[in-house]
Structure 1
Amino acid sequence: MAHTLSAKKRIRQSEKKRLRNKAYKSKMRTLTKKFVAAVNNGELAVAEESFKTVSREILKISTKGVIHKNQAARRVSRLAKKLNSIKSA
């Protein structure tokens, strides 16, 4: 257990940050699942709207430092690839 005031404060801050990051990641995963479900069902209009939402959120999360910018770019790229595959079909 921490003894100094600064260490105790650091523990409190880390816990807040961990919970906030957990919420961001959960939101990102939920939006991604909704998008993938729309693509798998062949709903082009829903998938396009969902793609805009999920890509915006992923990039926002990366600017907050929750995920790395390259990871965000990779995720968005893979989702765009899925969207393009349904468009061409």
Structure 2
Amino acid sequence: MANIKSSQKSIRQDAKRTARNVARRSRMRTYVKRVETAIAGGDHTEAMAALKIAQSEIDTAAQKGIVKRNMAARKVARLNARVKALASA
């Protein structure tokens, strides 16, 4: 444990940030899984609704620095392509 006040504060802040980031990443993954289960189930309307929410969560995670912007864009594009393919099938 650090002895310096500012170091102790820094450790507390890091713990808070880490917990927040873990929660945000977990939340993003949960919404992505909901889209994937809707796609697996073959329900286009449910997949579209889930995709809309997931896209917002992914973009928020990218904005907060949880994931990189390109990764977020790629994930949204791939999910969107799978949902569109579901509509045409």
Give the TM bin, normalised by the shorter chain: over 0.9
Identity %: 37
**Deviation digits for residues 8-43 of structure 1, max 9, x if unmatched?**
111100100000001111111111111100011110
Query: Structure 2: any 5+ residue segments left out of the alignment?
Result: none
The number of residues matched between the two structures is 89
The residue number in structure 1 matching 2:77 is 77
Partners in 2 of 1:7 and 1:78 — Cα distance?
43
Cα deviation, residue 67, structure 1:
1.2
The residue number in structure 1 matching 2:45 is 45
The residue number in structure 2 matching 1:30 is 30
Cα deviation, residue 69, structure 1:
0.9
Partners in 2 of 1:14 and 1:69 — Cα distance?
23
Query: Structure 1: any 5+ residue segments left out of the alignment?
Result: none
TM score, norm. by length of structure 2: 0.94
Over aligned residues, Cα RMSD in angstroms?
Answer: 0.9
The residue number in structure 2 matching 1:7 is 7
TM score, norm. by length of structure 1: 0.94
